[in-house]
């Protein structure tokens, strides 16, 4: 049997990454550009987009990177972006749904936060708008175009909190529930759990039209967390550490390419083993 060495090849493919100016947006961009895809970064944060483009081009000098200031909760804005990209011969082949509101759990004052009893419904609605409505609209606008062409890939970025409840104890220095003052907001795991249902639905809905839909389920990423938070989370992970930002790159390339050609509607869990304990 002849081995195909080019199943990761993304030459002549156009990829769109929502939340492109966030923590993992640039890493997803590197993953796709490394294999030849032209990348469109979408966000509402212009500074974040510029920084993301810089990070990708520094890592992959030959990469083709575009940025677009777009609110993904506005269908009209997405339709306009789709029209502009088609005019530039850049119709989207790969959609990475990465945008979400994910509050940092170390930047709080002394007041209690994140409790169910006093949850800010404005925040709840915004989390749903960005994480689920925005994701669905991107799938509706760009996924339908893929289906009309008979090919395409959608990769949804969930979280290990989509498959297990957040252990709030990690957010206290003592590791005791009664000492927690800042709770992981309920909106984030609700949104990420809902993404799994969206993933399965669209996978079966568009499979016969050549569109594959899969989900990456990443664990916590090492950034600027406090020492006690890193220690508490690491204790729950069999690999005894948080992920580095770059460690999801090959998973993104796999899910976006023909390397995963017989995979759809699935969840690729990369959480250091946290969910098996």
The two most distant CA atoms of the chain are separated, in Å, by 64
d(C-alpha 215, C-alpha 196), whole Å: 7
Does residue 9 belong to any structural domain of this protein? no
Q: Can you give the residue range of the structural domain that contains 98?
A: 14-276
Question: Is pLDDT at 10 greater than 60 in this prediction?
Answer: yes
- For residue 52, is it within any domain? yes
Reported as a single tens digit per residue, the pLDDT across 144-188 is 999 999 999 999 999 999 999 999 999 988 888 888 988 999 999
Kindly report, residue by residue over 65-99, the tens digit of the pLDDT. 999 999 999 999 999 999 999 999 999 999 999 99
**pLDDT confidence of residue 183:** 92
Model pLDDT, residue 243: 98
- CA–CA–CA angle 137, 143, 145 (5° rounding): 115
- Placement of tokens 């206290």 in the chain: 172
Q: What is the CATH number of the domain that holds 114?
A: 3.40.50.720
Domain count, the chain: 1
Pick the more confident residue, 4 or 191.
191
pLDDT tens per residue across span 101-144:
977 666 555 677 889 998 999 999 999 999 999 999 999 999 99
6 in any annotated domain: no
Q: Give the pLDDT score at 3.
A: 47
Q: Is residue 5 part of a domain?
A: no
Q: Is 26 within a domain?
A: yes
Instruction: Give the model's pLDDT for residue 112.
Output: 79
pLDDT at position 5:
55
> Is 4 part of any domain?
no
Query: What does pTM read for this prediction?
Result: 0.94
In 61-117, alpha helices (H): 75-87
Residue 20, domain member (yes or no): yes
Question: What distance in Å separates the CA atoms of residue 14 and residue 109, rounded to the nearest whole number?
Answer: 43
| Distance of alpha carbon 9 from alpha carbon 34, whole angstroms | 9
Give a yes or no: residue 2 inside a domain. no
């Amino acid at each position: 049997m002849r081995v195909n060495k080019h199943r990761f090849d993304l030459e002549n493919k156009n990829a769109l990454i929502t939340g492109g100016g966030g923590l993992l947006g640039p890493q997803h961009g590197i993953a796709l550009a490394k294999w030849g895809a032209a990348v469109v970064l979408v966000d509402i944060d212009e500074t974040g987009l510029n920084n993301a483009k810089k990070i990708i081009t520094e890592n992959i000098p030959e990469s083709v990177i575009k940025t677009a200031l777009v609110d993904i909760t506005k269908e009209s804005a997405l339709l306009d972006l789709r029209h502009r990209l088609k005019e530039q011969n850049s119709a989207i082949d790969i959609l990475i749904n990465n945008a979400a509101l994910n509050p940092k759990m170390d930047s709080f004052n002394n007041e209690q936060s994140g409790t169910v009893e006093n949850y800010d419904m404005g925040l709840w609605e915004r989390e749903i708008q960005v994480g689920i409505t925005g994701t669905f609209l991107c799938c509706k606008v760009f996924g339908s175009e893929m289906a009309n062409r008979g090919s395409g890939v959608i990769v949804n970025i969930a979280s290990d909190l989509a498959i297990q409840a957040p252990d709030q104890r990690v957010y206290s220095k003592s590791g005791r529930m009664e000492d927690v003052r800042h709770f992981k907001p309920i909106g984030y795991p609700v949104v990420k759990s809902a993404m799994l249902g969206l993933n399965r639905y669209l996978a079966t809905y568009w499979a016969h039209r050549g569109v594959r839909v899969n989900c990456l389920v990443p664990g916590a990423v090492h950034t600027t967390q406090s020492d006690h938070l890193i220690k508490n989370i690491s204790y729950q992970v069999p690999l005894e550490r948080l992920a580095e930002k770059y460690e999801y790159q090959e998973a993104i390339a796999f899910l976006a390419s023909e390397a995963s050609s017989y995979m759809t509607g699935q969840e690729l869990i990369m959480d250091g083993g946290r969910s098996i304990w």
